[in-house]
A and B are shown apart, each in its own frame.
Chain A
Amino acid sequence: MADIALVLKGGTVVDERGSRQADVAIDTDGAIAAVESSIDTSARVLDCGGCIVGPGLVDLHTHLREPGREEAETIETGSRAAALGGYTAVVAMPNTEPAIDSAAVVRDVLEHGAKALCQVLPAAAITVGREGKQLVPMAELAALGVRIFTDDGNGVQDSRLMRRALEYASALGITLAQHCEDEGLSHGGHMHEGEWSSRLGIPGIPAEAEELMVARDIVLGRLTGAPVHFLHMSTAGSVELIRQAKSRGLRVTAEAAPHHFTLTHAEVASYDPVFKFNPPIRGDEDVAAVKAGLADGTIDAIATDHAPHAQEVKEAPFDEAPCGMLGLETALSLAISQLGLPIDRVLALMSWQPARIAGIQAPGVVAGAAASLCVIDPTAQWTVDPSRLASRSRNTPYAGRAMTGRARHTIYRGEPVVIDGEAQR
């Protein structure tokens, strides 16, 4: 049996099995050696007093930008931001340049990911170049370990193609994830269509542009029997459609992003493109519906949609600026402080439920499991300072905002990659 390398002392262990006061011993092979009420040790100790020791967080929706947009983020910098946010695994979205649509690019991302501060799970595109025309070699990519396929950034517009993709995928044990946007309806829009877009004179994207594709893919999922995952759900109508689909036993899962449960379209009155998102931040009733969906299990996961953009491209006119914000380092705090959910529900939404959707083993804090853990100080007070974020970009709408709760230590395969909120490499 391998020697003990590290002991997490004095915390409350929380995982799918429940909650208990326990110390966690981690061996030199990076596995959990013991979870016991008190472990005496001469090995290195990390203080976890007052903290929650949970399984590592899993992000279903991270834009690492590599290859192609390394000025905005790299696999290394993005994985450091992830580790600081408590994540031990992230799904790397395929809208890179080139897109992750071939074995060569998948291998490249896996190779860089092997050196990262967390597990990097490449998602692949559904169609070549994310152009919505021709299917990628799904079986070949699935054999390399790809479990999520998505054209994220674009929805698959062609219903027949989407049907074929789902049918083909159903034999491979993979999940197609949809960015739901009917481009006929969203055409030319830059923010949520409604009171604020009307007042601000910015072309709007109606909620129905998302809901139309959610509805379509629910019925295509029913037709084909394939699982469908819905990315970044942002409208009350979408949440309701998914609730109905689940009540009928359909194989659908869904995620929501922190900006969709913390920000509304009123923020756009500043014309600051840091508030530009796709799907856009919407109305109060949509925020309430997303929160309710997270609380009642309609939405399975909180996913960041971490979308780094270089400062110069975000300082463009609102119409011209790219969409999205940094999410990895603020998601946990926002989930803890804004949802009013107990910590085990927050962990379900951020750890084991997304792990299952990503097709990896649901992490637990038990002897024998890989030691990929997140130690959370649920009462830590801190202020978001963009210049101190690990990401290569600075586009956070929460600059200067006081936050409650933070990842204190992150252990990835036995290695303490974050100690007391500081990245170790």
Chain B
Amino acid sequence: MTALKHLLSIADLGPGGLEDLLDLTDSFVEVSERRIPKVPTLRGKTVVSLFYEESTRTRLSFESAAKRLSADTMNFTVGTSSVKKGESLRDTVTTIEAMGVDAIVVRHASAGVPWQVAQWVGASVINAGDGWHEHPTQAILDCYTIRQRLGSLVDRHIAIVGDVKHSRVARSDVQAFTALGATVTLVAPPTLLPPSLVGWPVTVSHDLDDVLPKVDVVYVLRMQRERMTESLLPSLREYTSTYGLTAERARKLSQHALVMHPGPMNRGVEIAAEVADLPSSVITRQVANGVAVRMAVLFRLLGSGMELAHG
């Protein structure tokens, strides 16, 4: 495959690139299971995380991945930085690059910021979530987790349930799941779907009970409480009763079906506490795989020409 400079969108990868990263992740899962889960592959490289939005889990996952590859890490926290003093995005990014970094992991509440950053710097840019737009490493780890449990995504049927409209996870997952051969059904009230689904390779349902028995994976999205104030829903209670994965609903799933969630969960809202803890739930597995997937991504972007040391 051609050298990958940035990871901004799932579309940057294509099915081949996605399969390649999943295969590479196998090696890093193996590394993660060692007594000392660390390889010297990216020694001398510097990875900075530039998070304009709070996200402890994604930031820690990237930092952990970089450290296991022996890269140096820097953490730019917006709350304590010059951004508070009114520094522009471009100036901040230019300053960070001047310190000599090889990769910038960006999270921002505005869609498109990683694309802008990639135009301004020579370093590799990894999109760790931009607004409602994309979260490619989450989608890769979701694919990896499904492949790990079900063998392959080909001809699998995946329901993505909940607030698709505001979800960067859903936008990346739809592209990744379908690129690997799965069929996707979005299940949500009309107010939580994007205004247009032109060009989206999906079907839509407003009836979760009808969809559940037919799927191999039910992917539950986080329901943010502020949606109530935007008149998108009458109440969380009504949402839970119509679109929540309750224990009763979960019984409609077939034996082999997986329950997934990108976290953090609102137990009792979009997913019942006992469903999250069922054996069919792979939510913790997703988090564990996240580190290995991000190791694979960093290796692919920064380790060009290097062989992965085995053993």
Binding site for B on A (CB under 8 A): 193-195, 197-204, 206, 270-272, 312, 315-320
| In contact, A201 and B88 (Cβ under 8 angstroms) | no
| In contact, A194 and B196 (Cβ under 8 angstroms) | yes
| In contact, B116 and A271 (Cβ under 8 angstroms) | yes
| In contact, B133 and A201 (Cβ under 8 angstroms) | yes
Contact of A315 among B89, B196, B197 (CB under 8 A): B89
Known: A201-B131, A201-B133. A315 touches B90 (CB 8 A): yes
Bound-state CA distance A414–B168 (Å) is: 59
B132 interface hit (Cβ, 8 Å): yes
Q: Nearest Cβ in chain B — how far from A182, in angstroms?
A: 15
B14 interface hit (Cβ, 8 Å): no
Instruction: Mark out the residues of chain B between 90 and 142 whose CB falls within 8 Å of any chain A CB in the assembled complex.
Output: 90, 108-113, 115-116, 130-134
Residue of A whose beta carbon sits closest to that of B194? A198
Residue of A whose beta carbon sits closest to that of B52? A317
| In contact, B89 and A317 (Cβ under 8 angstroms) | yes
| In contact, B112 and A206 (Cβ under 8 angstroms) | no
Q: Nearest Cβ in chain B — how far from A278, in angstroms?
A: 17
Given contacts A199-B171, A206-B195, A318-B112, 7 further A-B contacts (CB under 8 A): A199-B194, A200-B133, A201-B134, A202-B132, A312-B90, A317-B112, A318-B111
Residue of A whose beta carbon sits closest to that of B193? A198
Query: What 7 A-B pairs are tightest by C-beta distance, nearest first?
Result: A271-B112, A201-B133, A317-B110, A198-B194, A201-B132, A319-B110, A201-B111
Residue of A whose beta carbon sits closest to that of B170? A201
Contacts of B90 in A (CB 8 A): 312, 315
Bound-state CA distance A315–B87 (Å) is: 12
Bound-state CA distance A196–B166 (Å) is: 14
Bound-state CA distance A200–B191 (Å) is: 18
Contacts of A198 in B (CB 8 A): 194-198, 200
| In contact, B110 and A318 (Cβ under 8 angstroms) | yes
A-B contact pairs, 11 of them (CB 8 A): A194-B195, A194-B196, A195-B199, A197-B195, A198-B198, A199-B199, A199-B200, A202-B112, A317-B110, A318-B110, A319-B109
Residue of A whose beta carbon sits closest to that of B119? A272
| In contact, B111 and A319 (Cβ under 8 angstroms) | yes
Residue of B whose beta carbon sits closest to that of A203? B132
Bound-state CA distance A319–B133 (Å) is: 12
| In contact, B195 and A316 (Cβ under 8 angstroms) | no
Contact of B108 among A193, A195, A317 (CB under 8 A): A317
Bound-state CA distance A10–B223 (Å) is: 71
Contacts of B195 in A (CB 8 A): 193-194, 197-198, 204, 206
Known: A315-B88, A315-B89, A315-B90. A200 touches B196 (CB 8 A): no
Q: Nearest Cβ in chain B — how far from A212, in angstroms?
A: 16
| In contact, B116 and A195 (Cβ under 8 angstroms) | no
Bound-state CA distance A282–B110 (Å) is: 20
Bound-state CA distance A51–B196 (Å) is: 47
| In contact, A202 and B111 (Cβ under 8 angstroms) | yes
Q: Nearest Cβ in chain A — how far from B33, in angstroms?
A: 36
| In contact, B111 and A270 (Cβ under 8 angstroms) | no
| In contact, B131 and A319 (Cβ under 8 angstroms) | yes
Bound-state CA distance A202–B165 (Å) is: 10
Q: Nearest Cβ in chain A — how far from B161, in angstroms?
A: 18
Residue of B whose beta carbon sits closest to that of A198? B194
Residue of B whose beta carbon sits closest to that of A312? B88
Residue of B whose beta carbon sits closest to that of A272? B116
Known: A271-B111, A271-B116, A318-B111. A201 touches B130 (CB 8 A): yes
Which among A201, A270, A319, A320 has the highest number of chain B CB atoms within 10 Å? A201
Instruction: Mark out the residues of chain B between 60 and 111 whose CB falls within 8 Å of any chain A CB in the assembled complex.
Output: 88-90, 108-111
Contact of A201 among B171, B196, B200 (CB under 8 A): B171
Bound-state CA distance A249–B109 (Å) is: 48
Bound-state CA distance A271–B119 (Å) is: 11
Contacts of B89 in A (CB 8 A): 315-317
